[in-house]
Amino acid sequence: MKPESEFGLKTKLGRIEINEHVFISIIAILIGVAAGYGAVIFRFAIKGAQYLFYQNTADFLEFQDVVPFYLKILLPGLGGLIVGPMIYYWAREAKGHGVPEVMEAVAVKGGRIRPRVSLVKILASGLSIGCGGSVGREGPMVQIGASVASTVGQILKVTQDRQRTLVGCGAAAGIAATFNAPIAGVLFSVEILLSDFGVATFSPIVLSSVMATTISRHFFGDFPAFIVPHYELVSFWEFFFYGFIGLFTALVSILFIKCLYKAEDIFEALPVHEVFKTALGGMLAGCIIVVFPHVFGVGYGAINQSLMGHMTVEMLFILIFVKIIATSITLGGGMSGGILAPSIFIGAMTGGFFGSIFHQAFPEITASSGAYALVAMGGLVSGTTQAPITAILIIFELTSDYKIILPLMTTCIISALLSTYLQEGSIYTIKLMRRGISLYKGMEQSVLRNIHVRDVMREDVVTIPEDIHLEEIFETFKKHNVSYLPVINSNGELAGIISFRDLRAVLNETSLRRVIKAKDLATKKVVTVSKGENLKRALQKMGQKGVSQLPVVSDENPKKLVGMVHDKDIIAAYNRETLRFEW
């Protein structure tokens, strides 16, 4: 029989656990409210910025005729000129679409995001969209909500595990408030950001998403983000057409991803200061707006036209590629905004184009082009994010029509499968992979990439000059009990390294102990690691060379020895970091 004290301890621990869940749930509700109001402020910030630039808050297609062509070029450039310094000097995390930064914070920073990011993101993205940048408002809202949630967690000093959950709450609330889609918000957070469907994580995220949607509906009403056409599945044969839409949206999504990051590379290589690249990107996007005003801002007006079948086949086809280019230039130049709305735009144009062709060729067995545009919106989102469940639920909640589920599932799953097969990484994770962070290879990879050699290296290194004799080398190994001795030349530079194994061949050569010098025994081609390299790279070099230590050299001078890094120190650093994640 177990002692009474043990049962009492378990009871107390159970109460603590329940209280913790209640506490996190209350915080999740508050985060949902804060993110909901953040979405409202962000929406007004976009309208305010648009009014500041164009003295009109309506959809751009409604008043673009009265805007002089030169202003369509200059005003986006002016917006970029304001946004550039704002991001560069205040919060560089606000550059681009924002979701990868949140994923990085969750994966390798314990959910910590600087408090200022939410304010800078509201201002930068509001100005970027309001001046005409071809980006969306959903990505910024994810980062805004996540930043607010992270700030709350840091103030309350919650554990890192709970901190990541709270960041997920903020992100879900942002999506829910933007799309008026609470279920999609929840799935976006758990499928894309956290990859955690556990009850302890899922429940607070649901609460945040519901509260944010409630706040959003209070201000903007319970209306879908788009004008959704009546949907019906006309015949069984349409599933073949929807399967084809899935294949083609996957290919278009890959094209979008490649163009986006190619544009980033091109702007990165320009010999221009960062604060001016945004202005250049804005002006180039403005040149596109002169000819194709449909791609202005979030582009919801053009999406509605596609859904209602009010566009020509030629225009639908052209806008697929024009939107890809406009968004790539806007984000490549350094403006701030999301890629979810552009993905939906491109999907609507893709589906509208093929839907028009299908309906003209087979009017008896196909629905209107708007139905295909609606389903392709989900297909494109699924292909770019490689998150089919989120894509399905976003479109389903926009329509509230159960009839669309089967075609939508067909298109989204096919798109995600083909996109995953042809492209390693989603539009979000590729940005992290380019930074050396791979979420697919487990937490250990990310942890090792996030710690630098300078953080674990030993600076008190025993070295020997290159002209000392073998006898003195033996004495140095014996005195300091080391496995490796770096050899330094007369200029104070690393000239080689001697391991204890190198001495085995001359152990019994007593007659040569005053003849052989360090430079004769040393390995000249030394494998080194610099202070700025990460531990994963250091561990890879050790494995390739079959050694347990590496000399550490200066970042500026690869011949200047500054320390040694040991494999056991790398393992100890990894263990410490993973314990921080757990506690």
CATH for 164: 1.10.3080.10
Structure confidence at residue 93 as a pLDDT band (50, 70, 90) = confident
Query: Do 489 and 414 have their domain in common?
Result: no
For the cut 70, the answer to whether the pLDDT of residue 235 exceeds it is: yes
Residue labelled with tokens 């910024």: 140
Q: What is the pLDDT of residues 121-175, one digit of tens each?
A: 999 999 999 999 999 988 899 999 999 999 999 998 888 778 888 999 999 999 8
Domain boundary among 437, 463, 498: 437
Query: Do 125 and 257 have their domain in common?
Result: no
In a domain, 572, yes or no: yes
Query: What pLDDT, on a 0 to 100 scale, did the predictor assign at position 12?
Result: 47
Q: How far apart are CA 52 and CA 421, in angstroms?
A: 45
Q: How far apart are CA 376 and CA 540, in angstroms?
A: 43
3-state secondary structure of 134: coil
Query: Do 259 and 157 have their domain in common?
Result: no
Query: What pLDDT, on a 0 to 100 scale, did the predictor assign at position 6?
Result: 42
Q: How far apart are CA 552 and CA 530, in angstroms?
A: 5
Structure tokens at 246: 């899935």
Q: How far apart are CA 246 and CA 406, in angstroms?
A: 13
Q: Quick one: which of 291, 289, 374, 285 has its CA closest to 333?
A: 285
Domain boundary among 437, 463, 478: 437
Query: Do 188 and 289 have their domain in common?
Result: no
Contact 382, 412 (CB under 8 A): yes
Query: What pLDDT, on a 0 to 100 scale, did the predictor assign at position 251?
Result: 97
CA separation, residue 61 to residues 300, 301, 311, 411 (Å): 10, 7, 13, 30
In a domain, 77, yes or no: yes
In a domain, 36, yes or no: yes
Containing structural domain, residue 288? 238-437
In a domain, 171, yes or no: yes
Q: How far apart are CA 229 and CA 309, in angstroms?
A: 9
Query: Do 211 and 257 have their domain in common?
Result: no
Structure tokens at 369: 């082009």
Structure confidence at residue 5 as a pLDDT band (50, 70, 90) = very low
Structure tokens at 141: 């809202």
For the cut 70, the answer to whether the pLDDT of residue 3 exceeds it is: no
The 3-state secondary structure of 440-470, one letter per residue: HHCHHHHHHHCCEHHHCCECCCCCEECCCEH
For the cut 60, the answer to whether the pLDDT of residue 214 exceeds it is: yes
Interval 401-424 mean pLDDT:
90
Angle at 37 between CA 165 and CA 104, to 5 degrees: 35
Lowest mean pLDDT among 17-26, 231-240, 363-372, 550-559: 17-26
Query: Do 322 and 451 have their domain in common?
Result: no
> 181 φ, ψ to 5°?
-140, 85
What is the domain count for the chain? 3
Nearest-10 crossing angle of helices 4-54, 138-156: 140
Structure tokens at 192: 């894309």
Query: Do 286 and 408 have their domain in common?
Result: yes
Interval 306-319 mean pLDDT:
94
Q: What is the pLDDT of residues 562-572, one digit of tens each?
A: 999 998 888 88
Strands 529-530 and 549-553, by their bridges, are parallel
The 3-state secondary structure of 537-571, one letter per residue: HHHHHHHHHCCCEEEEECCCCCCCEEEEEEHHHHH
Query: Do 275 and 194 have their domain in common?
Result: no
Interval 460-475 mean pLDDT:
86
Query: Do 284 and 175 have their domain in common?
Result: no
In sequence order, which residues have a C-beta less than 8 Å from that of residue 270 and are 6 or more positions away?
A: 277, 280
Q: What is the pLDDT of residues 46-66, one digit of tens each?
A: 999 999 999 999 999 999 999
